[in-house]
């Protein structure tokens, strides 16, 4: 990381994603004909710079986990391009990917199903060494024990089985395994959402420390906006397979531009009962996220947006840089210049401002 950041040129991104698409076919009948597709990820582009943490946030079904599995190449993309350190990895085979697995690792959400119950911790954390045929200095056992103490576990627990550990400890085991081969990029899919509050904070701090210590680059996928704000340098907000807003942390939380981001932020419960009375209004989105099998035309958010006009239904808004390092895909953004000022006719059937913005009692 250090030698890269020193260069005066704009930093070469570690991971470059361009127009990434993943459609899961829906098959029906005896002949298994394809009758449609779940458009899980539908054309997203972003960069991940070395040493930074990119947070990806969105509701369930927005394609954030699929995105994580695409950039780690656990899934085969339908279209688009993924580059890791300038090398195109979009369609590499399993065998061709293997050397790269050293550099790209993943931490999974569920610490109960991501560890083999029949293997000891030593075997689990040592597996990457065996798979990559790497013999670390001082032997596998010593390296595994170092990793265990790195993530705050007792190295003497080498021979224990996963069921002997609590959820938080298991998550640490998963982290130790991901770090075994000193990866450059770690993709963490909901790394703390299965954990209790007090344990969540321990794991968040651990990820933070490891990043400082090992110079890691993270892509952290989560649905919890408070956690994302705490860990990320930059944040991408996803809705129905698209990135709707991509920005540095502070501008995103202080001046969100996309109405969806604004709605998400206002829905976060705040642990302060005084604010309940003080808060003037809250945006309450109606209904649910539409199905990704047949997403709405134009801007995918127009069915729930209180600012929707005719153009939103017909034209898909591009992801534009409306403020320095702040990209948003919206025709009528908040906190920025209206992109379609001539189009003022409200979309029939769209919710009105009064319906959506709810003033608290």
Binding residues for another protein (CB under 8 A) = 59-60, 166, 168-169, 196-202, 204-205, 208, 223-227, 229-230, 249, 253, 263-276, 282, 284-285, 287-289, 358
CB of 166 to another protein, least distance (A): 5
* Closer CB to another protein, 136 or 167, in the complex: 167
Is 354:286 a contact under the CB 8 Å cutoff? Answer: no
State whether the Cα torsion 90-95-96-98 is positive or negative.
positive
CB of 76 to another protein, least distance (A): 28
Give me 322's structure tokens. 């409306």
* Closer CB to another protein, 6 or 274, in the complex: 274
CB of 60 to another protein, least distance (A): 6
* Closer CB to another protein, 114 or 261, in the complex: 261
The number of residues making up the chain comes to: 361
CA torsion angle 76 81 82 88 (round to 10): 100
* Closer CB to another protein, 13 or 245, in the complex: 245
Q: At what angle do helices 197-214 and 167-179 cross, to 10 degrees?
A: 20
Q: DSSP labels for 235-278?
A: EEEEETTEEEEEEEHHHHHHS--SHHHHHHHHHS--S-HHHHHH
CB of 332 to another protein, least distance (A): 19
CB of 339 to another protein, least distance (A): 24
CB of 82 to another protein, least distance (A): 27
* Closer CB to another protein, 14 or 210, in the complex: 210
User: In angstroms, rounded to a whole number, what is the distance separating the alpha carbons of residues 259 and 345?
Assistant: 18
* Closer CB to another protein, 344 or 360, in the complex: 360
User: In angstroms, rounded to a whole number, what is the distance separating the alpha carbons of residues 107 and 273?
Assistant: 35
Residue 2, strand partner residues: none
CB of 275 to another protein, least distance (A): 6
User: In angstroms, rounded to a whole number, what is the distance separating the alpha carbons of residues 246 and 233?
Assistant: 11
* Closer CB to another protein, 123 or 266, in the complex: 266
């Amino acid at each position: 990381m250090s030698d890269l950041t020193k260069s005066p040129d704009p930093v070469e991104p570690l991971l470059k994603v361009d127009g990434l698409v993943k459609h899961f076919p829906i098959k029906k009948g005896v002949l298994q004909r394809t009758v449609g597709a779940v458009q899980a990820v539908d054309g997203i582009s972003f960069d991940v710079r070395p040493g930074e943490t990119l947070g990806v946030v969105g509701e369930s079904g927005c394609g954030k986990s699929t995105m994580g599995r695409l950039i780690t190449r656990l899934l085969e993309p339908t279209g688009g391009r993924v580059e890791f350190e300038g090398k195109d990895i979009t369609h590499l085979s399993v065998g061709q990917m293997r050397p790269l697995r050293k550099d790209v690792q993943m931490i999974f959400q569920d610490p109960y199903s991501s560890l083999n119950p029949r293997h000891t911790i030593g075997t689990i954390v040592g597996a990457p060494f065996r798979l990559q045929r790497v013999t670390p200095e001082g032997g596998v056992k010593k390296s595994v024990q170092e990793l265990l103490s790195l993530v705050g576990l007792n190295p003497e627990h080498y021979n224990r089985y996963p069921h002997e550990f609590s959820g938080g400890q298991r998550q640490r085991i998963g982290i130790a395994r991901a770090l075994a081969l000193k990866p450059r990029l770690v993709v963490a899919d909901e790394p703390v959402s299965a954990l209790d509050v007090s344990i969540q904070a321990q794991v968040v701090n651990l990820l933070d420390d490891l990043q400082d210590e090992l110079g890691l680059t993270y892509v952290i996928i989560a649905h919890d906006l408070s956690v994302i704000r705490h860990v990320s340098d930059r944040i991408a907000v996803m809705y129905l397979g698209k990135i709707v807003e991509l920005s540095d942390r502070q501008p995103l939380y202080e001046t969100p531009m996309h109405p969806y981001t604004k709605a998400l932020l206002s829905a976060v419960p705040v642990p302060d009962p005084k604010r309940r009375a003080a808060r003037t209004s809250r945006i309450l989105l109606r209904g649910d996220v539409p199905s990704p099998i047949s997403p709405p035309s134009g801007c995918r958010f127009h069915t729930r947006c209180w600012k929707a006009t005719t153009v939103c239904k017909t034209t898909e808004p591009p992801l534009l840089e409306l403020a320095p390092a702040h990209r948003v895909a919206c025709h009528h953004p908040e906190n920025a210049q209206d992109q379609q000022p001539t189009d003022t006719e409200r979309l029939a059937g769209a919710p009105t401002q009064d319906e959506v913005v709810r003033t608290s009692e």
